């Protein structure tokens, strides 16, 4: 049993081969945090870790005791204002205006498995990845509100999944104004904070700063996890590298407003929290009802950041992504967006599809513009039926032709939005998020539908399901191109307006779930103007996501590299597009564009009817090569061999699960003249296997010798410029791809 309760000491020990997590009931009945880290033996009592001594400027819990203060002890799910002055994990506002509570230990249960969360995305256990769950109940006697803290430990992962359920067993309504999913007090502050931030077109760049006293946070108030910040955060030891050292990470399985923060107090205790953003959040917990927080995940490693990332990749691939596409290799696609934008006809689409088929592409995706009266971004959004002016044979007719070519057919939707100029808004103006008597801001000339209203969800489901059914659609790209503003729902009373952001996202999840269940074979790809909602919550519904609207290969090194810290390669849509690149105007070789897009779900997003025979031949060869190794690219163990912030020369490696195949991408961001000799040590191989090394060049494959795994790990692979051929062959944005195959 990987969860032990020691009754005398009232200590809980969650453990597997990799980690231990220790919780203890404190002397005032609240929960203390003792330890989360590398596995330790199961011992009965770690009371010595609860350090309670007199401290100046401290308030104490008991009238005649100068030691027990919540400021002194490390806690699991702390309140504010009853001797602890740090930011709390929760706040419950009562009818008399008070927020003081006293939640004390009531009992616990250990559950074999992992209960699912109703209406929310979460990791799940299975026979191949079993988990055990500890639920600890605490009750506030005065209000009879209970909180159930839930902890699940998987047998084969260092990651612990947490969530909290509030249950109102009392007689009065209380308001939850803060309900974090996870809070943990780490016993020191010797960490660097790594956040993944950016903007449209440059999402999830890693930023590293030393942890300092006080609060540091990232958050979103946009109604989506956002381009700007990501609900994933690492705390690493300063000396930790990609290949060694300690680090923690937290991830929120949620796609709406979030807050992730660390608070370092005067005694160098680090309180790490993640959950729904308390700003603009107020949930009416009426008698007899519950509130369920989203799930949060916390990970630990003592083996460096690649190991930390690989733990998330494994957990998401095995225990978060669901359905027919889980563990399946993803199709190579062509998307017409950057080839045509809104300027397409059925004829043009068919021409692209025919060319795509010749190149070995497997899925044709029709992007924005096929529906309602959509000719530009100003009209038609919300009217999910084909536009006869563009598609005389409808979606079914087009889909049929694409299917006849031997391609799968995918379609773009933006279910959560509407243009004012749409039948939907003309008929249901009250279905938009809007504040009464106030102007409504627009983004991309569109408005957000109120998915907190069940009838809006029903309406969208019926319309979309009809198109999916009529066209026998194989893939859906679910886009979301603006953030929420003037957030208010006409369907809810004044005292529930603080619930709308969360209810909206629950509505998004519900629509996704209904469509997934009705069309279990469809591959969903989430998107939000590129990577504006790239989070673990979305992966539960859509196994892959459009990583960014910026498909420039060099910018993608930063975006895909940054994203890889928290998310698997199988989740990242990665496309080859034109050069000069439409977002940054950069000229990069087709070889490099392909090599970067290899490390994800490969697609093409350019007009392949306008390319030269030589370029087409190169694309064909690229696709052939990718297909040969795509299970490794999508599901192999991924290593960033260049550390955080080293941008000039980047090396990425994927190694197959059986360690027989490894692929190295070597990317020269800026060229260096008369460059140094370079040898790269290759991790993750079997020491006694002999690997044959081939370099894949546009002109063909070149034999680079054969070496044992131990040689490659210790002596390294020679990747000096001189080894590329002529010493002057390399340029800025030059790249090389090496395949290492066990003989």
Which parts of this chain interact with ligand DGJ (CB under 6 A)?
Answer: 337, 367-368, 412, 479, 481, 527, 529-530, 546, 549
Strand pairing partners for 574?
602
Of 68 and 341, CB closest to ligand DGJ = 341
Query: Closest approach of Cβ 529 to ligand DGJ, in Å?
Result: 5
Helix, strand, coil share (%) of the chain residues, nearest 5? 20, 35, 45
Tokens of 574: 């990665």
- CA dihedral in degrees (458, 460, 466, 469; nearest 10)? -100
Residues 114 and 455: their CA atoms lie apart, in Å, by 32
DSSP E strands, 94-239: 103-112, 131-140, 145-154, 160-168, 174-186, 192-199, 202-210, 214-220, 232-236
- 154, 131 Cβ separation under 8 angstroms: yes
Other CB atoms within a 10 A radius of the CB of residue 34 amount to 22
Angle, helices 454-470 vs 500-518, to 10°: value is: 30
Query: Closest approach of Cβ 369 to ligand DGJ, in Å?
Result: 8
Tokens of 45: 């009592």
CB-based burial, 496-535: b 16+ in 10 Å, e otherwise: eebbbbbbbbbbbbebbebbbeebeebbbbbbbbbbbbbb
Of 172 and 379, CB closest to ligand DGJ = 379
Residues 121 and 118: their CA atoms lie apart, in Å, by 8
Residue with tokens 């790990």: 713
DSSP 248: E
Active-site annotation holder among 549, 550, 552, 601: 549
Angle, helices 346-359 vs 394-404, to 10°: value is: 20
Of 79 and 543, CB closest to ligand DGJ = 543
Q: Which of 5, 684, 624, 182 is nearest to 362 (CA)?
A: 624
Of 367 and 535, CB closest to ligand DGJ = 367
Angle among Cα 71, 230, 213 to the nearest 5 degrees reads: 30
Query: Closest approach of Cβ 630 to ligand DGJ, in Å?
Result: 22
Of 482 and 640, CB closest to ligand DGJ = 482
Of 450 and 479, CB closest to ligand DGJ = 479
Residues 38 and 54: their CA atoms lie apart, in Å, by 31
**What's the Cα-to-Cα distance from 33 to each of 49, 66, 76, 298, 602, rounded to whole Å?**
9, 21, 5, 14, 44
Q: Is 733 left (phi over 0), alpha (psi -120 to 50) or beta?
A: left
- 285, 168 Cβ separation under 8 angstroms: yes
Of 524 and 635, CB closest to ligand DGJ = 524
Of 356 and 739, CB closest to ligand DGJ = 356
Query: Closest approach of Cβ 329 to ligand DGJ, in Å?
Result: 22
Query: Closest approach of Cβ 256 to ligand DGJ, in Å?
Result: 19
Residues 33 and 20: their CA atoms lie apart, in Å, by 12
Residues 459 and 453: their CA atoms lie apart, in Å, by 10
Angle, helices 454-470 vs 394-404, to 10°: value is: 40
Residue nearest to ligand DGJ (CB): 368
Give me the helices (H) in 429-528, please.
Answer: 454-470, 500-518
Residue with tokens 């007090």: 185
Q: 3-state class of 392 per DSSP?
A: coil
Query: Closest approach of Cβ 441 to ligand DGJ, in Å?
Result: 19
Q: 3-state class of 12 per DSSP?
A: strand
Tokens of 147: 């909180």
Of 242 and 549, CB closest to ligand DGJ = 549
Query: Closest approach of Cβ 531 to ligand DGJ, in Å?
Result: 8
Of 124 and 546, CB closest to ligand DGJ = 546
Residues 12 and 23: their CA atoms lie apart, in Å, by 5
Query: Closest approach of Cβ 519 to ligand DGJ, in Å?
Result: 20
DSSP 372: T
Known catalytic membership, residue 549: yes
Query: Closest approach of Cβ 367 to ligand DGJ, in Å?
Result: 5
Query: Closest approach of Cβ 286 to ligand DGJ, in Å?
Result: 40
CA–centroid distance for 70 within its chain = 34
Residues 280 and 188: their CA atoms lie apart, in Å, by 32
Query: Closest approach of Cβ 282 to ligand DGJ, in Å?
Result: 32
Query: Closest approach of Cβ 605 to ligand DGJ, in Å?
Result: 8
Active-site annotation holder among 140, 368, 474, 479: 479
Of 277 and 551, CB closest to ligand DGJ = 551
Of 136 and 417, CB closest to ligand DGJ = 417
Tokens of 546: 């459009």
Active-site amino acid positions: 479, 549
């Amino acid at each position: 049993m990987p969860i032990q309760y020691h009754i005398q000491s009232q200590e809980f020990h969650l453990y597997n081969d990799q980690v231990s997590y220790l919780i203890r009931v404190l002397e005032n009945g609240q929960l203390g945090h003792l330890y989360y880290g590398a596995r330790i033996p199961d011992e009965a009592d770690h009371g010595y870790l609860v350090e309670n001594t007199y401290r100046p400027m401290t308030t104490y819990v008991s009238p005649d005791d100068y030691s027990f203060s919540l400021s002194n002890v490390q806690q699991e799910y702390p309140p504010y204002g009853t001797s602890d002055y740090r930011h709390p994990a929760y706040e419950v506002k009562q009818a008399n205006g008070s927020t003081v509570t006293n939640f004390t230990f009531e009992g616990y249960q250990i559950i074999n498995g992992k209960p699912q969360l109703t209406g929310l995305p979460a990791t799940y256990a299975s026979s191949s990845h079993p988990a055990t769950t500890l639920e600890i109940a605490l009750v506030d006697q005065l209000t009879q509100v209970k909180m159930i803290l839930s902890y699940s430990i998987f047998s084969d992962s260092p990651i612990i999944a947490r969530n909290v359920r509030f249950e109102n067993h009392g007689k009065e309504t209380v308001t939850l104004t803060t309900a974090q999913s996870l809070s943990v007090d780490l016993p020191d502050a010797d960490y660097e904070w790594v956040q993944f931030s950016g903007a449209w077109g440059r999402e999830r760049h890693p930023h590293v700063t030393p942890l300092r006293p006080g609060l540091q946070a990232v958050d979103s108030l946009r109604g989506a996890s956002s381009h700007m910040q990501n609900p994933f955060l690492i705390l690493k030891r300063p000396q930790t590298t990609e290949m060694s050292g300690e680090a923690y990470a937290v991830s929120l399985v949620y796609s709406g407003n979030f807050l992730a923060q660390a608070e370092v107090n005067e005694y160098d205790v680090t309180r790490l929290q993640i959950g729904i953003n308390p700003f603009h959040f107020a949930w009416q917990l009426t008698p007899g009802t519950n509130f369920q927080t989203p799930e949060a995940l916390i990970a630990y490693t003592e083996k460096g950041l690649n190991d930390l990332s690989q733990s998330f990749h494994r957990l998401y691939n095995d225990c978060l992504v669901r359905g027919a596409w889980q563990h399946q290799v993803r199709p190579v696609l062509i998307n017409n967006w950057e080839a045509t934008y809104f300027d397409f006809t059925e004829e043009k689409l068919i021409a692209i599809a025919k060319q795509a088929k010749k190149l070995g592409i497997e899925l044709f995706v029709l992007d924005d513009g096929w529906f309602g009266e959509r000719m530009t971004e100003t009209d038609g959004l919300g009217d999910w039926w084909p536009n006869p002016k563009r598609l005389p044979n409808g979606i079914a007719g087009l889909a049929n032709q694409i299917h006849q070519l031997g391609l799968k057919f995918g379609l773009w939707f933006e279910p959560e939005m509407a243009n004012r100029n749409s039948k939907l808004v003309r008929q249901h103006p009250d279905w938009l998020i809007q504040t009464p008597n106030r102007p409504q801001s627009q983004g991309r000339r569109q408005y957000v539908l109120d998915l907190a209203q069940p009838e809006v969800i029903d309406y969208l489901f019926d319309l979309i399901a009809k198109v999916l059914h009529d066209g026998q659609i194989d893939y859906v790209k679910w886009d979301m191109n603006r953030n929420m503003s003037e957030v208010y729902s006409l369907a809810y009373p004044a005292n529930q307006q603080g619930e709308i952001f969360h209810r909206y996202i629950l509505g998004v999840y519900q629509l996704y779930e209904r469509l997934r269940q009705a069309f279990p074979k469809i591959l969903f790809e989430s998107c939000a103007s590129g990577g504006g909602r790239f989070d673990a919550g979305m992966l539960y519904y859509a196994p892959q996501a459009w990583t960014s609207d910026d498909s420039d290969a060099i910018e993608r090194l930063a975006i895909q590299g940054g994203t890889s810290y928290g998310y698997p390669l199988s989740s990242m849509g990665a496309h080859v597009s034109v050069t000069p690149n439409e977002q940054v105007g950069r000229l990069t070789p087709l070889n490099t564009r392909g090599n970067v897009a290899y490390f994800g779900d490969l697609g093409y997003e350019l007009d392949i009817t306008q390319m030269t025979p030589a370029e087409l031949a190169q694309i064909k060869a690229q696709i052939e090569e990718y297909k040969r190794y795509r299970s490794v690219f999508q599901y192999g163990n991924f290593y960033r061999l260049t550390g955080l912030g080293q941008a000039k020369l980047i090396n990425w490696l994927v190694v197959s699960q059986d360690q027989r195949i490894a692929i190295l991408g070597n990317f020269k961001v800026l060229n260096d003249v008369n460059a140094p000799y370079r040898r790269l040590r290759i991790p993750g191989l079997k020491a006694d296997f002999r690997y044959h090394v081939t370099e894949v060049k546009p002109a063909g494959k070149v034999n680079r010798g054969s070496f044992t795994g131990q040689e490659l790990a210790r002596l390294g692979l020679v990747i000096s410029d001189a080894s590329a051929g002529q010493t002057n062959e390399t340029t800025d944005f030059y790249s090389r791809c090496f395949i290492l195959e066990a003989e």
